[in-house]
Amino acid sequence: MTDIVDRFDVAVIGQGPAGMTAALYAARSGLSTASFERMGAGGQMTDTEQLDNYPGFTEGIAAFELAFAMSGQAARFGARTVNEEVVELDLHANPKRIATASGSVYEADAVILATGAVPRPLGIEGEKELAGRGVSYCATCDGGFFRDKRVAVIGGGNTAVEDALYLARICSEVHIIHRRDAFRADAIYTRPLADLPNVMLHMECVVESLHESEGRVSGVALRNTKTGRQDSIDVEGVFVAVGTMPKNDLFADSGLAMDAAGYVVADETGKTDIPGVFVAGDVRTKALRQVSTAVGDGANAAHAAFEYLSLR
């Protein structure tokens, strides 16, 4: 039987902006708080260099700088970072149990899940190598780097079309490449496309390969799935928006209510259907996955955890 290494009021799983804000609010409200992270602080936000849309920074802020500041702020109020990979969670135990890769087991009366999500890759050759060199998974994060340039957006859901609308105001040309003849996106997003002269649609087309020049994206090769016709477009940016994947493997078998895509079902309070288990950030069902919405989630989930622990 493994010894319990430590016990906390609250364990926060993940040090993205949602998790770090949850840790800050929990610790600041007087709860003993552990903040688990297997990598460095920051989560998905550090996939981008510069954040230009996080309020409060006129000139934007480097993602790592913001992550470092968030983590330091939580620590200032006593949140303890446990730099270990969580490998097992027992969310039904009382207290709840958190096992890490080193074999340690921690206990906590409440758990806040802030494990985030990852963009779904397209899965084509060269995509990984060109990520950050023209391939992006976040238009609102990286669109500004492609001002007056030609870009492609791949996908046909709300994210892809919203990305295209956003990029159309920044970029000279936006080529939407979608594998079917109809968008999955809601009409409220697709309707404005017709009035944008710099948005071109390539329906029933898939990206076969990425063109590269001097280590950066220089274009995409397309194939029409109906006619088989092949085509090439010169673009400097490729925004992949083919959905995200929640990082839920730790609690996939816990019985937590999740939607069909695997996001944990909760409203903005972060309360899940398991008492004492809360969720914050990208792994929660929500409309807009951004750093600014993640921090709001973190604050709400910590507040809900505080209420749960106080009123039990």
Angle ∠(187,188,191) on CA atoms, nearest 5 = 65
| Site for ligand NAP contains 157 (CB under 6 A) | yes
Minimum CB–partner distance for residue 217 and ligand NAP (Å): 17
DSSP lists the bridge partners of residue 105 as: 4, 99
Q: Should residue 303 be labelled a site residue for ligand NAP when binding is judged by CB under 6 A? A: no
Q: Which of 128, 147, 169, 180 binds ligand NAP (CB under 6 A)?
A: 180
Residue 138 a catalytic site member: yes
- Which amino acid belongs to residue 80? R
282 contacts ligand NAP (rule: CB under 6 A): no
Under the binding rule (CB under 6 A), the answer on residue 223 touching ligand NAP is: no
Q: Token digits for 88? A: 């097992």
Q: Which is nearer to ligand NAP, 161 or 256 (CB)?
A: 161
3-state secondary structure of 44: helix
**222 contacts 232 by C-beta, under 8 angstroms:** yes
Compute and round to an integer the Cα radius of gyration of the chain.
Answer: 21
Q: Phi first, then psi: what are they for 157, rounded to 5°?
A: -90, -175
Options 24, 108, 130, 242; binder of ligand NAP; rule CB under 6 A:
242
State yes or no: is 186 an active-site residue: no
* 128: contact with ligand NAP by CB under 6 A: no
- The reply on whether position 254 binds ligand NAP by CB under 6 A is no
Number of Cα atoms under 13 Å in the Cβ half of residue 140 = 12
Q: Which of 58/227 has CB closer to ligand NAP?
A: 227
Looking only at the bridges linking them, the beta strands covering 199-203 and 173-178 are parallel
Residue 146, CB-side half-sphere exposure with 13 Å CA sphere = 35
**Which range binds ligand NAP by CB under 6 A, 72-80, 92-100, 152-160, 248-256?**
152-160
Tokens, residue 87: 């490998």
When asked if residue 122 is in the footprint of ligand NAP (CB under 6 A), the reply is: yes
- Does residue 159 interact with ligand NAP by CB under 6 A? yes
**Active-site hit among 47, 52, 90, 142:** 142
Q: Which stretch binds ligand NAP (CB under 6 A): 21-29, 44-52, 211-219, 241-249?
A: 241-249
Do residues 114 and 281 make contact, with C-beta atoms less than 8 angstroms apart?
yes
In 3D space, the residue among 114, 116, 110, 115 whose CA is nearest the CA of residue 137 turns out to be 116
Which residues in the 194-213 window bind ligand NAP by CB under 6 A?
Answer: none
Does residue 95 have a cis bond before it (omega within 30 degrees)? yes
Q: Does 287 bind ligand NAP (CB under 6 A)?
A: yes
User: b/e map of 177-193 (b: 16 or more CB within 10 Å)?
Assistant: bbeeeebebeeebbeeb
Q: Which is nearer to ligand NAP, 43 or 155 (CB)?
A: 155
- Catalytic choice (141, 163, 171, 297): 141
CB of 263 to ligand NAP, least distance (A): 8
171 included as an active-site residue: no
Look up residue 140 and give its two tokens. Answer: 């609102």
Stretch that binds ligand NAP, among 41-49, 56-64, 235-243, 268-276 (CB under 6 A): 235-243
Q: Name the minimum Å distance from CB 49 to ligand NAP.
A: 22
d(CA 26, CA 300): 10
The candidate with the shortest Cα–Cα distance to 14, out of 65, 96, 83, 72, is 83
Number of residues interacting with ligand NAP: please give it, by CB under 6 A: 18
Q: Which of residues 37-96 bind ligand NAP (CB under 6 A)?
A: none
Binding site for ligand NAP (CB under 6 A): 122, 154-160, 162, 179-180, 184, 241-244, 287-288
